[in-house]
Amino acid sequence: MMAAGRAAELGARVVLIEKNNRLGVKLLITGKGRCNITNAEFDNKKLVEKFGRQGKFLHSAFHHFGPQDIIDFFNERGVKTKVERGQRVFPVSDSSLDVQRALESYLRDYQVVVVRNLTVKKIIIEDSPLTKGGYRGVAGAISRIEKIKFSKGEVTADKYIIATGGMAYPATGSSGDGYGWAKKSSHTIVSPSPALVPINVKSEIVAELEGLSLKNVNISVYQDQKKKLDRFGEAIFTAHGLSGPIILDMSYEVGELLKKGKVELQIDFKPALDFIALDKRVQSDFAKNSNRLFRNSLDELLPQKLIPVIVKLSNINPNQKVNSVTKEERKVLLHLLKEFKLEVKSLAGFDRAIVTAGGVDLSEIDPRTMKSKKIDNLYFAGEIIDVDGPTGGYSLQVCWSTGYLAGQSAATVGKNDKMVK
């Protein structure tokens, strides 16, 4: 939508082909329906750093259309925004529908022709005056798209932008179609994998904790008894493991470690206290509740839903009074609170992933224009390219920025070969 709108805004005649019966289906479910449209990181250098090795590729896209630009874009179209914890930017209305409607209005304003319920069958590659030469037997640029249920069976255009997303949430239409088209036009695809995805664990006890939100916890990842990474913040227990911001941010690295062997998560429920300080806190609580049963003595220390699980795993008699809990038993309790261990089973699949890692190889795309280096009239935007970032609005900002730049480039490059700034 951003690519189509920007190209039309600059005077191009644009057709947007949508396989669903409505635009922005995936957009509507982002941020649990609230749509975290971007992150209020206005320093381009720091923004780029959030994407690690891939970040350098995004310099130009963020320069042309960064976080402040997208905030202004929506503000001007009646979608007021607010900044929440972690610099996350949301609509004041907390409604992703407002974001989607603003984009549809953008398309209408510049007469973008939207064709819904239309599945692209294949890309037809043939000789064209635009060709740069043959690639793997492909001698020409993309000049036609053949589709199902279209009166003439094909659409001919001067420029094409593939912005089909990745494979995350396939129920929204993100079924990886664009990878096949890119391959046919001789592009390399970095193998797609789920990113920003929940982590499944082997222990069945997590089912008893399903829905429990954790705030201000520290979760570490271990392999071969060595700490590989850790994160501080929020997480949530699911029926099969863990999700939430810090889990999603670690998921890709956890997936890579799983390829090498056993991976363990350790949750520190009380990161503000070291073992000595926590032991003093526990002893103080026990002293205040000396005549209480152990199972009723942890109310001030832990969330209610967590208490039965900790009591069970501690092997301390739940019906004994806390004044009889031994030092050794207390030591076991402390380790549970500071090193709650869960062996990782797997990552959840694409159906629960927020974004896709992998995609069209960045070395085959010009970062200044989003144009293919192999096919002269082809551009890429969004999740189909091999870029993925952390949670907090970063992935959507990539979509806005690369879409804007691709649309702008497709509409202007070739017109005296000058870019609109």
Kindly report the backbone phi and psi dihedral angles of residue 144, in degrees, each rounded to the nearest multiple of 5, phi listed first.
Answer: -145, 150
The answer to whether the CB of 324 falls within 8 A of the CB of 166 is: no
Indicate the pTM of the whole model. 0.84
As a residue count, the chain comes to 421
Q: Which of 235, 204, 175, 211 lies closest to 356 in space, CA to CA? A: 175
C-alpha to C-alpha distances, 97 to 94, 112, 231, 385, 386, nearest whole angstrom: 9, 20, 32, 26, 28
Write the pLDDT tens digit of every residue in 153-189: 667 788 899 999 999 988 888 889 899 999 988 899 9
- What pLDDT does 124 receive? 72
Write the pLDDT tens digit of every residue in 317-376: 999 999 999 999 999 999 999 999 999 999 999 988 889 999 999 999 999 999 999 988
- What pLDDT does 243 receive? 95
C-alpha to C-alpha distances, 190 to 231, 361, 385, nearest whole angstrom: 27, 6, 9
Amino acid of residue 117? N
Lowest mean pLDDT among 118-127, 192-201, 302-311, 328-337: 118-127
pLDDT-based confidence at residue 118 (cuts at 50, 70, 90): confident
The answer to whether the CB of 149 falls within 8 A of the CB of 21 is: no
pLDDT-based confidence at residue 141 (cuts at 50, 70, 90): very low
Query: In angstroms, rounded to a whole number, what is the distance separating the alpha carbons of residues 343 and 261?
Result: 11
Question: SS3 letters for the chain?
Answer: CHHHHHHHHCCCCCEEECCCCCCCHHHHHHHHHCCCCEECCCCHHHHHHCCHHHHHHHHHHHHHCCHHHHHHHHHHCCCCEEEEHHHEEEECCCCHHHHHHHHHHHHHHCCCEEECCCCEEEEEECCCCCCCCEECCEECCEEEEEECCCCCCEEECCCEEECCCCCCCHHHCCCCHHHHHHHHCCCCEEEEEEECCCEEECCHHHHHHCCCEEEEEEEEEEECCEEEEEEEEEEEECCCEEECHHHHHHHHHHHHHHCCCCCEEEEECCCCCCHHHHHHHHHHHHHHCCCCEHHHCCCCCCCCCCHHHHHHHHCCCCCCEHHHCCHHHHHHHHHHHHCEEEEEEEECCHHHCCEEEEEECHHHEECCCCEECCCCCEEECHHHECCCCCCCCHHHHHHHHHHHHHHHHHHHCCCCCCCCC
pLDDT-based confidence at residue 140 (cuts at 50, 70, 90): very low
Query: In angstroms, rounded to a whole number, what is the distance separating the alpha carbons of residues 7 and 1?
Result: 10
- What pLDDT does 414 receive? 57
Domains of the chain: 2-194+357-412 (3.50.50.60), 198-348 (1.10.8)
For 88, the token pair is 């996350």
